[in-house]
Amino acid sequence: MSEFSLQEALQQKILPAITFDDYTDALPIAEALLKAGLNVMEIPFRTNAAEFAITSIRKNLPEMHVGGGTLLTKEQIHKAINAGAQFGLSPGFNQNICAEAKRLNFPFIPGVMTPSEMELANELGYDVQKIFPAEQLGGISFLKAMLGPYQQLNIKFIPMGGVNLNNMNAYLQLKNVIAVGGSWLATKELIASKNYKSIEENVVAALHQTKIINAS
């Protein structure tokens, strides 16, 4: 675990969250992401296929960085690690979950909604935090408001929930945003229809937006 760098994994500034109902979809979708140029993804533990999907990708595509998402219990953290996940995420801030991740030296991104949660998470050593649900919380204006008081702590956020190709640029222009995430790159509909080409095209378009940000 210690050799994995979360900062390096997020360098491309995009973290797709891809939920699998069937783990056999995992490899072709991961291959589509890699073909588009993206080498990081989150697989939420919202279905029983999550573990098998992570194991399949890590075994066959070691160049892909894979995180286990929606980790709500200590048991799920252990399952994610055993499956081969290199990092984890949660939608909320649970100090017991964070402590377990820390004990296992498992790179982890807790979800936060309030200034108090941000401070507590930072105090526990988590300087990369997930803002969820981003748009419902106020989106870009909320993160702008957080920039002033928390700039001194150097907290970096990953907004998820309502982020898409149309608004991702505005998020990424904020100094306290390290990456954006969400499911729009590989929707349930695209996965169900095995439309891997459209998934690849979505990722190419998103990566193009990040290049525009980097060049500005």
Domains of the chain (ranges, CATH numbers):
6-215 (3.20.20.70)
Confidence of residue 216 (pLDDT cuts 50, 70, 90): low
Confidence of residue 182 (pLDDT cuts 50, 70, 90): very high
Cβ-contact 101, 109 below 8 angstroms: no
Just list the catalytic residues. Answer: 42, 130
pTM: 0.95
Give me the torsion for CA of 91, 177, 216, 149, rounded to 10°. Answer: 150
Cβ-contact 39, 50 below 8 angstroms: no
* 143-180 pLDDT, tens digit each: 999 999 999 999 999 999 999 999 999 999 999 999 99
